[in-house]
Chain A
Amino acid sequence: AQTVTQSQPEMSVQEAETVTLSCTYDTSESDYYLFWYKQPPSRQMILVIRQEAYKQQNATENRFSVNFQKAAKSFSLKISDSQLGDAAMYFCAYRRFAGGTSYGKLTFGQGTILTVHP
């Protein structure tokens, strides 16, 4: 079974600075997807960024980028120029590539609470 671990329960950053959230995962599969979700105080789940394991290039979405290290099974999220609106719980998640009945299932990490100081 796949597992996802976020070892940082809480992180903080100053506004306009850069912060990196860590995520490691365990899988025996070679193809899969990885995601970062943001959960603001409203509790809504918002997709931040996604990475296909077969792509070597790290995904980037504006101020958000990932460092995907497939051999190390590491998937960190870097937030540049942090803004007050970035304050939220962040979840790392894994999804199987395709096939089988569990392909649509997301396996989540424990979450990291990010605080942004003005």
Chain B
Amino acid sequence: EAQVTQNPRYLITVTGKKLTVTCSQNMNHEYMSWYRQDPGLGLRQIYYSMNVEVTDKGDVPEGYKVSRKEKRNFPLILESPSPNQTSLYFCASTETGLALKTQYFGPGTRLLVL
């Protein structure tokens, strides 16, 4: 089954304690990205990756890091979380190419930073 998985699904942490949210896809997609969802703002892109070792900032990258060492994995790292990073996070992946490809979303990770 084609899917994007995220772990953990729920996380409560404290300010400053480093955390990593994992994302993995089994469809051999080149393009992966992270979004955060906040009330009244919709989803906004944090970082994206066009392929292994190729990453770039989205619209709201401050306070986040990513890496893409393997094609299937795209972890999101919060080195020093702050309360304003409390949000719902989605990982997504899709094929590259000119034709429109389906974008697959993970189930979401709800993060609370105290």
Chain B interface size, under 10 / 10 to 19 / 20 to 34 / 35 or more: 20 to 34
Inter-chain CB contacts under 8 Å: number = 56
Which one of A11-19, A39-47, A57-65, A71-79 is at the interface?
A: A39-47
Given A45-B90, A98-B98, A110-B42, the answer on whether A105 and B105 have CB atoms closer than 8 Å is no
* Contact status A110-B31, CB under 8 Å: no
Which B residues lie within 8 Å of A42 (CB)? 107
Task: Give A1-58 interface residues, CB cut-off 8 Å to B.
Answer: 4, 6, 9, 33, 42-45, 47, 50, 52
B45 within 8 A of partner (CB): yes
Q: How large is the interface on A (under 10, 10 to 19, 20 to 34, 35 or more residues)?
A: 20 to 34
Q: Is the CB of B88 within 8 A of A43?
A: yes
Contacts of B108 in A (CB 8 A): 43-45
Check B103 against A104 for contact (C-beta < 8 Å).
yes
**Is A108 located at the chain interface by the 8 A CB criterion?**
yes
Which residue of B is nearest A52, CB measured? B100
| Contact B100 A33, beta carbon cutoff 8 Å | yes
Q: When chains A and B are docked, how far (Å) is the Cα of A43 from the Cα of B105?
A: 11
- B44 at interface by CB-CB < 8 Å: yes
Q: Could you give 15 example pairs across A and B, Cβ below 8 Å? A: A9-B40, A33-B100, A42-B107, A43-B107, A45-B105, A47-B103, A50-B100, A103-B96, A104-B50, A105-B45, A105-B58, A106-B35, A106-B92, A108-B43, A109-B42
User: Which residues of B in the span 57-106 have a Cβ within 8 Å of any Cβ on A?
Assistant: 58, 88, 90, 92, 94, 96, 98, 100, 102-103, 105
- Residues of B near A106 (CB, < 8 A) are 35, 43, 45, 92, 103
Contact B31 A104 (CB under 8 A): yes
The reply to whether A47 and B102 contact each other, CB–CB distance below 8 Å, is yes
Q: Check: B2 CB closer than 8 A to any chain A CB.
A: no
- Whether A91 is near chain B, meaning CB under 8 Å from some CB there, is yes
Indicate if the CB atoms of A110 and B98 lie closer than 8 Å: no
B41 interfacial by beta-carbon distance below 8 Å: yes
Given contacts A44-B107, A91-B43, contact A104 B56 (CB under 8 A): no
Which B residues are CB-close (under 8 A) to A101? 48, 50, 56
Please measure, in the bound complex, the distance between the C-alpha atom of A1 and the C-alpha atom of B42, giving whole angstroms.
Answer: 16
